[in-house]
Copies of this chain bind each other. A is one copy, B any other.
């Protein structure tokens, strides 16, 4: 490789600075607090003790000003949306039950009150939510409708004589399911229900419904059940809620986007029920962003554990009798180093997402809001699937030691496992991303159903996706003779990703247009292709973000190391999908094989820096105190 070598020693603090970016100071504060003994992990606690500990830790967080970050300064908040998300994400280094509980309280519950409610709700509740005087739930998911929340069954029927809404679960499928904070601690719930007034259903709206009285008993008409043991996250008190004709006052409706007058007259600035609901949902993307980010932090922690172990564990002898450090094996490097490169890549893409969320002006055009929702959905899916896969790999890379709870990977695996299917099922989310691309954000696309995807495409597909795009023309200028260097050319890598995205998208669009009249069958026959379109779009976003972060790195040595790591991300991603590139004439056989050789070479080149690279994450040492690392 005709590229400058990485210096023998790179300062991990320089990597930390590059990783921490815009909210570096806040991140330092969180790390400092998380180092306290009271934020210790959970090995050995039973569910009740674990829940108690998490609530205690939540109160410790409430004593800082970080819960205020995400809220309006008019009510004691700090108007720092990005900081709020960062502070949730960082909890992903520690007990993920705390991350989820904090996310439910301040992100989902508090966020819904702020973003779906109006001044009277803010005045009455926001301070109490921030300081934990009021614990709450976000009751959207139902037993019968998890992904397809637009069709949930709970009803809230307005009763003009009493000026009340009657909240009701009409069937077992309407039971609110997996509701965090419900089984033990929650007092008030934001309940999503079909609003009915004047005998007419108006779609899903959010209502504030007390679920417990002062004594902690279930409120009249409310039945609360504990979801019981879960694979992980047992410090979160997930519960089921059912409502039997529960009456709440008219102002229980969070009425930013729609209202019901005293006489029952319905009004909303958004005419379509579906569009209104997805506008409401769109305001709530912080939760999805936070889950993706905390999955990233958990992955960083797992890889730190596995790389440190692999860097000291020895097994089998060399000819001279010395035992080989396992991370010196190519096979072991292949397991951990591409995963590490992808973790960096996703981190930088996440940083950009958080910044974009933070900087989104309240009066931004709707397309910008849609683009942000799409990016949040795609990155959440890719980040959480990567967490599932990388944490699994990390466990296996530590052998039997990785299986002992004391070595921390067991809980990491179990706790993060649900991330791929909560806050939006990843498959549904990737579909959403593809749909956004297909309709080029010209229409509101957030309706999650496949049917809507097919309909939009059939009716509104725009023709901006072209073969022989700029990316394609660039790639065609290259010849076989460029092989020696082109793999490490960032522009080549980025154009290759861009070209793949454009081609996959245009070909899926063509297949959808050619389809028969049965919209479901049309969509379903190309679903694998649609999902691919979503994935390769995210791949492109991620590589571009990594490339920008390398460019922005202030320390020259760290920048050289990140350059090679970005190569490893790009080339291992190309390698994994090289069948596609071969099938579509984007890689020759020779260059495809060269990609594999380059990944191997990069593994060898980066191996001496593996410890530095994980130390750059600066995971608080308390969460790395695994006995297997004691020697």
* A residues neighboring B (CB under 8 Å): 43-44, 46, 141, 145-148, 151, 177-178, 227-232, 315-319, 323-324, 328-331, 334, 388, 392, 395-396, 399-400, 402-406, 409-410, 413-414, 417-418, 420-422, 425-427, 431, 448-451, 518-520, 524-528, 531, 578-579, 582-583, 585, 589, 592-593, 600
CB distance from A419 to the nearest CB of B (A): 10
B406, A228: Cβ atoms closer than 8 Å: yes
Instruction: List, in ascending order, chain B residues with CB within 8 A of A582's CB.
Output: 579, 582-583, 589, 592
A567 to B231 alpha-carbon distance, docked (Å): 35
Instruction: List, in ascending order, chain B residues with CB within 8 A of A178's CB.
Output: 400
CB distance from A216 to the nearest CB of B (A): 24
A403 to B236 alpha-carbon distance, docked (Å): 13
Q: Name which residue of chain B comes closest to A328, CB basis.
A: B524
CB distance from A170 to the nearest CB of B (A): 16
Q: Name which residue of chain B comes closest to A141, CB basis.
A: B400
A593 to B425 alpha-carbon distance, docked (Å): 28
Q: Which single member of B146, B229, B328, B525 contacts A43 (CB below 8 Å)?
A: B229
A593, B589: Cβ atoms closer than 8 Å: no
Instruction: List, in ascending order, chain B residues with CB within 8 A of A395's CB.
Output: 231, 417
Q: Which single member of B145, B331, B593 contacts A531 (CB below 8 Å)?
A: B331
A329, B524: Cβ atoms closer than 8 Å: yes
Known: A231-B413, A396-B421, A520-B319. A330 touches B592 (CB 8 A): no
**Residue of A324, A420, A421 ringed by the most chain B CB atoms within 10 A:** A421
Instruction: List, in ascending order, chain B residues with CB within 8 A of A404's CB.
Output: 227-231
Known: A178-B400, A418-B400. A145 touches B229 (CB 8 A): no
Instruction: List, in ascending order, chain B residues with CB within 8 A of A526's CB.
Output: 330
B418, A334: Cβ atoms closer than 8 Å: no
Q: Name which residue of chain B comes closest to A525, CB basis.
A: B330
- 21 A-B pairs (CB sep. < 8 Å): A46-B46, A147-B316, A177-B400, A230-B410, A231-B405, A316-B451, A318-B451, A319-B519, A328-B524, A330-B524, A330-B525, A330-B528, A334-B528, A396-B421, A400-B421, A410-B414, A414-B414, A528-B600, A579-B592, A582-B582, A583-B589
A528 to B230 alpha-carbon distance, docked (Å): 37
CB distance from A455 to the nearest CB of B (A): 8
A421, B399: Cβ atoms closer than 8 Å: yes
CB distance from A519 to the nearest CB of B (A): 6
B579, A329: Cβ atoms closer than 8 Å: no
A34 to B418 alpha-carbon distance, docked (Å): 30
Instruction: List, in ascending order, chain B residues with CB within 8 A of A414's CB.
Output: 231, 410, 414
- Main SS at interface, chain A: helix
CB distance from A629 to the nearest CB of B (A): 13
A151, B330: Cβ atoms closer than 8 Å: no
Q: Which single member of B147, B323, B422, B579 contacts A315 (CB below 8 Å)?
A: B147
Instruction: List, in ascending order, chain B residues with CB within 8 A of A520's CB.
Output: 318-319, 324
Q: Name which residue of chain B comes closest to A600, CB basis.
A: B528
4 tightest Cβ-Cβ pairs between the two chains A and B: A231-B410, A229-B405, A579-B579, A330-B527
B417, A413: Cβ atoms closer than 8 Å: yes
Instruction: List, in ascending order, chain B residues with CB within 8 A of A421's CB.
Output: 396, 399-400, 402-403
A324 to B414 alpha-carbon distance, docked (Å): 30
Instruction: List, in ascending order, chain B residues with CB within 8 A of A405's CB.
Output: 228-231
**Residue of A392, A396, A578 ringed by the most chain B CB atoms within 10 A:** A396
A178 to B525 alpha-carbon distance, docked (Å): 49
A400, B231: Cβ atoms closer than 8 Å: no
A426 to B400 alpha-carbon distance, docked (Å): 12
Instruction: List, in ascending order, chain B residues with CB within 8 A of A145's CB.
Output: 315
A392, B388: Cβ atoms closer than 8 Å: yes
CB distance from A108 to the nearest CB of B (A): 15
B403, A417: Cβ atoms closer than 8 Å: yes
Instruction: List, in ascending order, chain B residues with CB within 8 A of A402's CB.
Output: 421
CB distance from A529 to the nearest CB of B (A): 9
A528, B331: Cβ atoms closer than 8 Å: yes
Known: A400-B178, A600-B528. A316 touches B449 (CB 8 A): yes
CB distance from A58 to the nearest CB of B (A): 22
B527, A400: Cβ atoms closer than 8 Å: no
Q: A232-B403, A331-B431 are in contact. List 7 more A-B contacts (CB 8 A).
A: A44-B228, A231-B410, A316-B449, A324-B520, A329-B527, A331-B527, A582-B583
Instruction: List, in ascending order, chain B residues with CB within 8 A of A388's CB.
Output: 392
Instruction: List, in ascending order, chain B residues with CB within 8 A of A315's CB.
Output: 145-148
Instruction: List, in ascending order, chain B residues with CB within 8 A of A585's CB.
Output: 589
Instruction: List, in ascending order, chain B residues with CB within 8 A of A319's CB.
Output: 451, 518-520
A199 to B232 alpha-carbon distance, docked (Å): 53
CB distance from A230 to the nearest CB of B (A): 5
A104 to B161 alpha-carbon distance, docked (Å): 72
A122 to B317 alpha-carbon distance, docked (Å): 36
CB distance from A128 to the nearest CB of B (A): 29
CB distance from A296 to the nearest CB of B (A): 19
A403, B231: Cβ atoms closer than 8 Å: yes
Instruction: List, in ascending order, chain B residues with CB within 8 A of A592's CB.
Output: 579, 582-583
A230 to B329 alpha-carbon distance, docked (Å): 27
Q: Name which residue of chain B comes closest to A406, CB basis.
A: B228
Known: A520-B319, A582-B583. A425 touches B450 (CB 8 A): no
A526 to B450 alpha-carbon distance, docked (Å): 45
CB distance from A339 to the nearest CB of B (A): 15
A328 to B448 alpha-carbon distance, docked (Å): 17
Instruction: List, in ascending order, chain B residues with CB within 8 A of A422's CB.
Output: 400
Instruction: List, in ascending order, chain B residues with CB within 8 A of A231's CB.
Output: 395, 403-405, 409-410, 413-414
Instruction: List, in ascending order, chain B residues with CB within 8 A of A524's CB.
Output: 328-330
A117 to B525 alpha-carbon distance, docked (Å): 61
**Residue of A151, A331, A406, A600 ringed by the most chain B CB atoms within 10 A:** A331
Instruction: List, in ascending order, chain B residues with CB within 8 A of A427's CB.
Output: 331
Known: A229-B406, A405-B229, A582-B582. A396 touches B420 (CB 8 A): yes
